[in-house]
A = this chain, B = another copy of it.
Amino acid sequence: MAELVEVTDPDDPRLRDYRDLRDVELRKNLEAEHGLFLAEGEKVVRRAVEGGHVPRSFLMAPRWLDGLADVLATSEAPCFVVEESLAEQVTGFHVHRGALASLERAPLPSVEAVLDGARSLLVLEDVVDHTNVGAIFRCGAALGFDAVLLAPRCADPLYRRAVKVGMGAVFALPWTRLPDWATALTDLGERGFTTVALTLADDAVPVEEAVAGVDRIALVLGSEGHGLSRRWETTAARRAIIPMAPGTDSLNVAAATAVACYVAARR
């Protein structure tokens, strides 16, 4: 059972995991150095703990204690109980959903472990926006994908905003970083996956056609700005496009993922 610890001093060093949550650069450093990540909101905190992540501590206003009592009962980590105004002062924003938890980052699994038994993968190259990464995890989970692989420069899916936008899907879907960007797609091919790159390339075929009859699929998605690197685009076994109205912009990467996952799920 987590010990309830009332805290009234915003400078209390025990609250350091929760400081300045809107300062992306500061948070990246702090979270990397201390090997932690944050979960926000009752549902997401619950999913993080139930997903096997070990809490370092909880931070919540009194009114959130009841809703998470069963989760707190499973943990030995302290639960800091603070007024909402103090939570706001420490974190730097209004904590709508009241509950926060700081959790240990576990070592990432191997690619082998993540691929074990998987039939449908998402492979993200340089998706750098945390909102998009979270949205993509949520889509993948909802539409029946089994796992996610991230290129080295893809944004951190355990960053608070990604976790929140993804509604904790990052705790449900196995995922890891690809150790080697350059050989990633050929490696997946050798492991029996057909890599299908979403792209606007001239030789891309409509996504329904590209996924037809594919057993083990790796759907490959590029960055928000310029799409896939030339290397990944040309190395993928197939290039797929979502047919669009003439003269319009491409879809946002999260919207494109939703469509591609939907189509691939019906292959």
Interface size class of A (residues with CB under 8 A): 20 to 34
With a CB–CB cut-off of 8 A, which chain B residues contact A248? 141-142, 169, 172
Closest-by-CB residue of B relative to A136 is B255
With a CB–CB cut-off of 8 A, which chain B residues contact A139? 251, 255
- Which one of B135, B142, B172, B245 lies within 8 Å of A143 (CB-CB)? B245
Output the least CB separation between A263 and chain B (Å): 8
Q: Is A71 an interface residue (CB 8 A)?
A: no
Q: Is A239 an interface residue (CB 8 A)?
A: no
With a CB–CB cut-off of 8 A, which chain B residues contact A167? 249
Q: Is A19 an interface residue (CB 8 A)?
A: no
Closest 5 CB pairs of A and B: A255-B258, A144-B245, A258-B258, A142-B248, A259-B262
- Given A135-B252, A249-B167, are A142 and B244 also a contact pair (CB < 8 Å)? yes
C-beta contact mask, A210-252 vs B, less than 8 Å → 1, else 0?
A: 0000000000000000000000000000000011110011111
C-beta contact mask, A122-162 vs B, less than 8 Å → 1, else 0?
A: 00000000000001001101111000000000000000000
C-beta contact mask, A72-88 vs B, less than 8 Å → 1, else 0?
A: 00000000000000000
With a CB–CB cut-off of 8 A, which chain B residues contact A121? none
- How many copies of this chain sit in the oligomeric assembly? 2
With a CB–CB cut-off of 8 A, which chain B residues contact A263? 262
Are A242 and B262 neighbours in the complex by a CB distance under 8 Å?
A: yes
Output the least CB separation between A221 and chain B (Å): 14
Q: Is A254 an interface residue (CB 8 A)?
A: yes
Are B262 and A138 neighbours in the complex by a CB distance under 8 Å?
A: no
Output the least CB separation between A201 and chain B (Å): 17
With a CB–CB cut-off of 8 A, which chain B residues contact A165? 252
Output the least CB separation between A100 and chain B (Å): 20
- Which one of B245, B254, B257, B258 lies within 8 Å of A142 (CB-CB)? B245
With a CB–CB cut-off of 8 A, which chain B residues contact A172? 248
Complexed CA–CA distance, A1 and B115 (Å) = 60
Are A254 and B251 neighbours in the complex by a CB distance under 8 Å?
A: no
Are B135 and A255 neighbours in the complex by a CB distance under 8 Å?
A: yes
| 14 intermolecular pairs with C-beta atoms under 8 Å apart | A135-B255, A138-B252, A138-B255, A141-B245, A141-B248, A142-B250, A167-B249, A169-B248, A169-B249, A255-B255, A256-B258, A259-B259, A259-B262, A262-B262
With a CB–CB cut-off of 8 A, which chain B residues contact A244? 142-144
Output the least CB separation between A193 and chain B (Å): 20
Closest-by-CB residue of B relative to A207 is B262
Closest-by-CB residue of B relative to A257 is B255
